[in-house]
Amino acid sequence: MKNKTSILIIYTGGTIGMIEDEKSGALKPFDFKHLLKHLPELKKFNLNIDSYSFNPLIDSSNMNPAMWVELAKVIQNNYEKFDGFVILHGSDTMAFTASALSFMLENLSKPVILTGSQLPIGVIRTDGRENLITAIEIAATRKNDKPLIPEVCIYFEHNLYRGNRTHKFNAENFSAFTSANYPPLAEVGVRIKFNNQFISNPIMDFLIVHTKLDANIAILKLFPGIEKNTIEAFSQIKGLKALILETYGSGNAPTDKWFLEALEKMIKKGIIILNVTQCKGGAVAQGKYETGASLYNIGVIGGADITTEAAVTKLMYLLGENFAIPEIKKLLKISLRGELTED
């Protein structure tokens, strides 16, 4: 007799895991060991469901690389015991965590689905109930006795997205996330429609977990009127190894001599500069206009259609692996986990 599919729910903290205290009425985290008490619908799944909670629980605004490492190790330590993983996480930094895990979990062959909610699960109108139930169902879905979604994903409000393609774009609506440059992996209505042509399939079946992340990076968002001293201040950051330059449109930036010279000086110091568009859809094409070609000519790397969240975590991963600068520049142009569209 085949064993039941098993799912591990990992609760990091965040809005979804809150219920009202019976005495005070205040919101408090609930004990996920009693998950079935609060969500009896889960009993209808023919699944073995277990849970693991961070201690202490954290607000997602406090998420950091050390906690990504803890998450990756929880998955690694339980990888052979469970068929899929559902991570409950605050929505504010969920796209960063999903992106980070996608790079840290190499050769992933099981679902790692992040979800959360805009309203606590203990509130009557919560979106957390549907998000959690569907995330579990997707994580447990198999085809030919293999997980159908062997990726790090975000499930939120009827859509399953590749995690490193997402961005939180709305703080008020239940549809909080978007994936402007990559289609949903699944769309949920009366039935779950899986878009199989967009789902990744691992070549190898053994998990490699990377736990060395280097956060010596910075983000510089351009705006009209940016001053020379602002640009130069970044070059003075002690230990800075990489700069994400958020440019206009398809990768455009000022062509002022002082601006280009300041960036070129940083590059000659060994600082990697990655060009990412401020737009939530579209891609950097540094040679399309003169204003972008100038960046290419001084050695700025074009980030194609990568999100800022994925750019941040990809750089942390590559720097943490201690690759040489030329190798990092090469890998930034290549899709390692489906995070960008190659030319």
**Paired tokens of 132:** 């959690």
pLDDT class for 267, splitting at 50, 70, 90? very high
The residue out of 183, 209, 235 marking a domain boundary is 209
Shared domain for 142 and 73, answered yes or no, is yes
Q: Is residue 341 part of a domain?
A: no
- Give the pLDDT score at 300: 96
Residue in 134, 108, 111, 130 with CA at minimum distance from that of residue 119: 130
121-163 tens-digit pLDDT: 777 788 878 899 999 999 999 988 889 999 999 999 899 999 9
pLDDT class for 258, splitting at 50, 70, 90? very high
Active site residue 15: yes
Q: What is the DSSP letter of 62?
A: G
Q: Is residue 28 part of a domain?
A: yes
Q: Is residue 338 part of a domain?
A: no
Q: Is residue 337 part of a domain?
A: no
Q: Is residue 342 part of a domain?
A: no
Query: Domain holding 66: CATH number?
Result: 3.40.50.1170
Does the pLDDT of residue 77 top 60, yes or no?
A: yes
Shared domain for 156 and 273, answered yes or no, is no
Shared domain for 185 and 53, answered yes or no, is yes
Q: Which domain holds residue 253?
A: 217-332
Q: How far apart are CA 152 and CA 160, in angstroms?
A: 10
180-207 tens-digit pLDDT: 999 999 999 999 999 999 999 877 778 9
Q: What's the CA angle centered on 132, arms 158 and 180, to 5 degrees?
A: 35
Q: Which of 133-142, 168-177, 315-324 has the lowest mean pLDDT?
A: 168-177
| High-pLDDT (> 70) share of the chain, % | 93
- Give the pLDDT score at 122: 72
Q: What is the DSSP letter of 105?
A: E
- Give the pLDDT score at 22: 66
User: Is 296 buried (19+), middle (13-18) or exposed (0-12) by CB count in 10 A?
Assistant: middle
Shared domain for 152 and 249, answered yes or no, is no
- Give the pLDDT score at 33: 66
Shared domain for 187 and 111, answered yes or no, is yes
- Give the pLDDT score at 174: 73
Shared domain for 89 and 146, answered yes or no, is yes
- Give the pLDDT score at 35: 64
Shared domain for 120 and 34, answered yes or no, is yes
Q: Is residue 136 part of a domain?
A: yes
Query: Domain holding 325: CATH number?
Result: 3.40.50.40
- Give the pLDDT score at 1: 37
Q: Is residue 284 part of a domain?
A: yes
Shared domain for 193 and 61, answered yes or no, is yes
Q: Which of 174-178, 247-251, 262-266 has the lowest mean pLDDT?
A: 174-178
Q: Which of 39-43, 222-226, 242-246, 268-272 has the lowest mean pLDDT?
A: 39-43
Does the pLDDT of residue 169 top 90, yes or no?
A: no
Shared domain for 187 and 296, answered yes or no, is no
Shared domain for 140 and 31, answered yes or no, is yes
Shared domain for 201 and 163, answered yes or no, is yes
Count of structural domains within the chain: 2
- Give the pLDDT score at 292: 74
Catalytic residue among 12, 15, 166, 307, which?
15
pLDDT class for 224, splitting at 50, 70, 90? very high
Helix/strand/coil for 271: coil
pTM for this model (two decimals): 0.93
The residue out of 209, 238, 264 marking a domain boundary is 209
Q: Is residue 11 part of a domain?
A: yes
The residue out of 209, 226, 253 marking a domain boundary is 209
5-63 tens-digit pLDDT: 999 999 998 877 777 666 776 666 666 666 666 677 887 888 999 989 898 888 888 99
Shared domain for 237 and 181, answered yes or no, is no
